[in-house]
């Protein structure tokens, strides 16, 4: 009965026999990805021109391509490139991890911000700053450890004959509350200058990041992003609900565990590099999903959207208030809120009731 | 018509907890009396415990025979009347208000995760305090309480207006989304200001931990009309919320006006949560947890749920406050922090027992 002939149910569907891969090519998603990549690259280059030492756009491009002109090459490659790369990678990492969490919990409001993983990292870092035990460990190491420990705790507590997405969210909210309270407590015990330092980290910033920040982040994203893309084969069925996914032959618990590991790893390293940049993980997958016209947040489009959001916010912050060193988290929070309100107004007009 | 209403109330009384029969009226009355007694006991304990422990008989004399006790032991009088009595009253008022607001919010949105902060009151109050300290140079706690109150109120009204734009009026989902959006927006602005004004950060970090230490009798007195109005509106909304729990369509069929119920509930939540947050800081976690506990005892009937929550929530807050005073004597841990550490594990245990989804 099995027919070897491909019967395309929709334009763009394909199936290969060796290797056995089937799927759908979506021209719209592809076009959106290309457009986003172009926009991100443009913002990336423009952000490299900004600073005390003016470098023109052609000079930036030449420096990136590897020219040896001493002035621009040094400024661009050593001073500005790490910051821009941090923004790019952090945005992508947060967005992909948001997409993962939203897919496996099937809840558009689930993001690492909401379910306590960022809160855990924050508590660890603020604890390091305030209690002074961070001397041996850098903020980024503490951030990674905090995020991983919190995620493990949430997963273990949510485990009861398997971990359901809904229970992960609820337990995450409880843990997030406790971590936030612990952070509040540490802030009240701190000296004012320590509190200022800690609060600056809390908002999320890519100011003054160097190559030592970029390298671990780049390695983490380089490993985890392809892993996520492989696991996405499963996440699509997971988004149909546990029962349907099991019926379609997906190993539900293993798939969820793998995706969670990838999502948590991305968030941990991104938070360690830039602090909990507000709202990117929540909003970027939702924007990407709407741009690409899909039913679940698509990972690649999300990554590009996130990278664009962070870089554009950073650029905006530096244009609006040039000498303030405004942290990028302030801008992403404000922009994200505006976006959510717009989404709300649009849903109202369409009559879908939000 | 009569039987229809009676049926609806029977259904409401038992819906959501099929394995648990609703308590009989005498059992419920006994329950209310028990909780009230626990609350009273905690109040007495709250007068006695602290950095200087006061024996219970001294507390009794200081409260009921003040003239004599003042002469005999002026120090105890100063502690009990000057510090601990206002603080205890503050805990009872704030706890009740947050508990009621939480129960209303969960009933209104039919969402077990709704907390009173969902209307943006915490974010509004935070923003207003930071603006008052950084922009206007307000530095006394009594001064910025009114700013916090105004901020909380303005934020809640804005959320309700944004949520009721367009088709279908203020549906719960739209209100929740508008609340989250406004919370993020105000949070960003708060961070931006705090980062540039160390003074504002210094005030803000203590306020946002959630503490009852700033309670002063005159302030509580001036805030009480708002709380009283909120409590009346909340208790009166009980029967209507029972109908709403059956779904919008059934509620309409039972003769309820959805718009009126929602406005009544939102107004009550704003009054209660706004005042409580202004006085004691964002301790909204109480409003999330306590209604779930109450629901486990009384079942989902709001006519019992609301009053029992109003008695049980101050128990948690008072207990947290007492623990916070005693645990690191002579220093104190803010009540809001202790609440999260007592309520957090409890909430997690509750989730693991899979009872939260019942609403």
Q: Is A342 exposed, middle or buried (0-12, 13-18, 19+ CB in 10 A)?
A: exposed
The reply to whether B182 touches chain A by the CB within 8 Å rule is yes
Assigned token pair, A129: 């700053």
Please, are residues B335 and B324 in contact by the beta-carbon 8 Å criterion?
yes
d(CA B285, CA B263): 23
Mutate which of A177, A207, A328 to disrupt the B interface (most B C-beta within 10 Å)? A177
- C-alpha distances in angstroms, B208 versus A182, A184, A186, A342, B150? 12, 7, 12, 29, 17
Q: Does A181 sit within 8 Å of B340, measured CB to CB? A: yes
Are A327 and B195 a contacting pair at CB < 8 A?
A: yes
A175–B344 C-beta distance less than 8 A: yes
Rounded alpha-carbon distances, angstroms, from residue A336 to A184, A261, A274, B161, B248: 24, 26, 18, 19, 31
d(CA B210, CA A181): 9
For residue A159, give the chain B residue with the closest CA: B352
Q: Is B161 exposed, middle or buried (0-12, 13-18, 19+ CB in 10 A)?
A: exposed
Mutant choice from A182, A184, A186, A278 vs B, greatest count of B C-beta within 10 A:
A184
Question: Distance between CA A299 and CA A281 in Å, rounded?
Answer: 12
Which of B185, B336, B348 is the closest to A157 by Cβ?
B348
Q: What distance in Å separates the CA atoms of residue A144 and residue A150, rounded to the nearest whole number?
A: 10
**Binding-face residues of B in 212-251 toward A, CB within 8 A:** none
Do the chains contact at A166 and B205, CB–CB below 8 Å?
no
- Chain B, window 146-165: residues with a beta carbon less than 8 angstroms from a chain A beta carbon: 162-163, 165
Cβ-Cβ contacts under 8 Å, B356 against chain A: 170
In this complex, is the C-beta atom of B333 within 8 Å of any C-beta atom belonging to chain A? Answer: yes
Q: Distance from A56 to chain B by nearest Cα, in Å?
A: 30
Nearest to B22 by CA among B301, B263, B237: B301
Tell me the shortest Cα–Cα distance from B103 to chain A, in angstroms: 18
User: Please, are residues B288 and B347 in contact by the beta-carbon 8 Å criterion?
Assistant: yes
Interface of B with A in 2-31 (CB under 8 A): none
Is B194 in contact with A345 (Cβ distance < 8 A)? no
**pLDDT confidence of residue B2:** 36
In this predicted structure, the answer to whether residue A1 has a pLDDT above a threshold of 60 is no
Rounded average pLDDT over A294-304: 85
Q: What is the pLDDT of residues B304-332, one digit of tens each?
A: 889 999 999 999 999 999 998 888 777 78
Q: List the 71-130 stretch of A: residues with Cβ below 8 A of B.
A: 109
With a cut of 60, say whether residue A62 has pLDDT above it.
yes
pLDDT confidence of residue B1: 33
User: Which of A178, A200, A333 has its CB closest to that of B188?
Assistant: A333
| pLDDT for the residue B7 | 35
Regarding beta strands A21-24 and A13-16, do their DSSP bridges make them parallel or antiparallel, or are they unpaired? antiparallel
More confident residue, B176 or B10: B176
Q: Is residue A347 very low, low, confident or very high in pLDDT (cuts 50, 70, 90)? A: low
A202 contacts in chain B (CB < 8 Å) = 191
pTM beyond 0.95: the answer is no
- pLDDT attached to residue B107: 86
Residue B13 has pLDDT above 50, yes or no: no
Q: What is the pLDDT at residue A351?
A: 40
The per-residue pLDDT for B288 is: 84
Q: Per-residue pLDDT for A89 more than 90?
A: yes
CA–CA gap between residue B128 and residue B149 (Å, rounded):
8
Q: What is the pLDDT of residue A9?
A: 56
* Whether A199 contacts chain B with CB within 8 A: yes
Which of B114, B130, B268, B145 has its CA nearest to residue B197?
Answer: B130
Please give the distance of CA B287 from its chain centroid, rounded to a whole number. 5
Minimum CA–CA partner of B340 in chain A: A178
| Pair of tokens at residue A126 | 């603020």
What pLDDT shows up at residue A163? 63
What confidence category does residue A344 fall into, taking pLDDT thresholds of 50, 70 and 90?
low
Dump pLDDT digits (tens) for B131-141.
Answer: 888 888 777 76
- φ/ψ of A22, rounded to 5, equals -130, 160
Window 96-115 of B: residues touching A by CB (8 A cutoff) are 113
Cis previous bond, B330, omega within 30: yes
pLDDT at B214: 67
Query: What are B53-98's pLDDT values in tens digits?
Result: 788 888 888 778 777 777 777 887 878 887 888 889 999 999 999 9
Asked whether the beta carbons of A144 and A269 are under 8 A apart, the reply is yes
Whether B20 shows a pLDDT value over 70: the answer reads: no
pLDDT over 60 (residue A228): yes
- Chain A residue whose CA is closest to B356: A170
- B242-263 mean pLDDT: 84
């Amino acid at each position: 009965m099995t027919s070897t002939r491909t019967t395309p149910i929709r334009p763009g569907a394909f199936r290969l026999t060796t290797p056995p891969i089937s799927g759908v090519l979506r021209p719209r998603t592809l076009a959106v990805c290309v457009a986003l990549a172009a926009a991100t690259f443009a913002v990336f280059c423009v952000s490299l021109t900004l600073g005390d030492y003016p470098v023109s756009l052609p000079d930036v491009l030449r420096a990136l391509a590897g020219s040896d002109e001493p002035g621009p090459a040094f400024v661009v490659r050593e001073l500005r490139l790490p910051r821009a790369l941090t923004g790019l990678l952090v945005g992508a990492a947060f967005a992909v991890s948001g997409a993962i969490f939203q897919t496996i919990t099937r809840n558009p409001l689930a993001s690492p911000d909401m379910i306590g993983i960022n809160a855990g990292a924050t508590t660890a870092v603020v604890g390091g700053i305030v209690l002074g035990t961070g001397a041996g460990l850098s903020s980024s190491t503490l951030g990674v450890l905090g995020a991983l420990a919190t995620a493990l705790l949430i997963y273990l507590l949510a485990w009861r004959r398997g971990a359901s997405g809904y229970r992960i969210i609820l337990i995450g909210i409880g843990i997030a509350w406790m971590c936030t309270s612990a952070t509040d407590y540490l802030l009240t015990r701190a000296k004012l200058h320590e509190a200022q330092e800690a609060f600056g980290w809390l908002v999320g910033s890519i100011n003054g990041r160097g190559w030592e920040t970029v390298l671990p982040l780049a390695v983490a994203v380089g490993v985890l992003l392809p892993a996520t893309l492989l696991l996405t084969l499963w996440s699509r069925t997971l988004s149909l609900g546990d029962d349907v996914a099991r019926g379609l032959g997906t190993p539900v618990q293993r798939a969820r565990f793998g995706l969670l590991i990838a999502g948590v790893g991305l968030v941990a390293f991104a938070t360690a590099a830039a602090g909990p940049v507000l709202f990117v993980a929540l909003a970027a997958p939702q924007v990407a999903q709407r741009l690409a016209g899909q039913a679940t947040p698509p990972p690649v489009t999300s990554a590009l959207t996130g990278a664009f959001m962070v870089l554009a916010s950073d650029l905006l912050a530096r244009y609006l208030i040039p000498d303030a060193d405004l942290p990028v988290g302030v801008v992403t929070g404000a922009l994200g809120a505006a976006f959510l309100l717009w989404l709300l107004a649009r849903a109202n007009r369409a009559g879908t009731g939000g | 018509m009569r039987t229809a209403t009676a049926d609806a109330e029977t259904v409401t009384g038992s819906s959501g907890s099929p394995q648990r029969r609703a308590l009989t009226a005498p059992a419920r009355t006994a329950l209310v009396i028990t909780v009230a007694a626990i609350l009273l006991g905690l109040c007495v304990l709250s007068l006695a415990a602290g950095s200087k422990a006061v024996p219970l008989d001294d507390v009794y004399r200081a409260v009921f025979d003040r003239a004599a006790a003042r002469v005999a032991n002026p120090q105890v009088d100063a502690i009990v009347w000057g510090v601990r009595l206002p603080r205890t009253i503050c805990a009872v008022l704030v706890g009740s208000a947050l508990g009621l607001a939480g129960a209303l919010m969960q009933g209104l949105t039919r969402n077990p995760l709704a907390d009173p902060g969902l209307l943006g009151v915490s974010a509004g109050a935070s923003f207003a305090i930071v603006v008052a300290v950084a922009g206007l140079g307000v530095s006394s706690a009594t001064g910025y309480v009114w700013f916090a109150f105004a901020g909380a109120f303005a934020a809640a009204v804005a959320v309700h207006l944004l949520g009721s734009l367009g088709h279908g009026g203020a549906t719960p989902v739209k209100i929740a989304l508008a609340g989250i959006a406004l919370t993020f927006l105000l949070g960003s602005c708060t961070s931006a200001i705090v980062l540039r004004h160390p003074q504002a950060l210094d005030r803000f970090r203590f306020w946002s931990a959630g503490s009852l230490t700033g309670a002063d009798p005159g302030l509580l007195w001036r805030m009480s009309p708002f709380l009283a109005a909120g409590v009346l509106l909340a208790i009166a909304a009980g029967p209507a919320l029972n109908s709403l729990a059956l779904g919008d369509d059934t509620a309409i069929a039972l003769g309820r006006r959805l718009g009126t119920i929602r406005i009544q509930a939102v107004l009550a939540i704003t009054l209660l949560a706004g005042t409580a947050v202004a006085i004691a800081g964002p301790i909204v976690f109480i409003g999330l947890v306590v209604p779930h506990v109450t629901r486990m005892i009384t079942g989902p009937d709001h006519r019992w749920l609301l009053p029992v929550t109003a008695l049980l929530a101050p128990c948690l807050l008072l207990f947290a406050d007492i623990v916070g005073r005693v645990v690191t004597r002579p220093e104190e841990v803010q009540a809001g922090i202790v609440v999260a550490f007592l309520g957090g594990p409890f909430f997690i245990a509750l989730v693991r027992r899979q009872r939260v989804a019942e609403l």
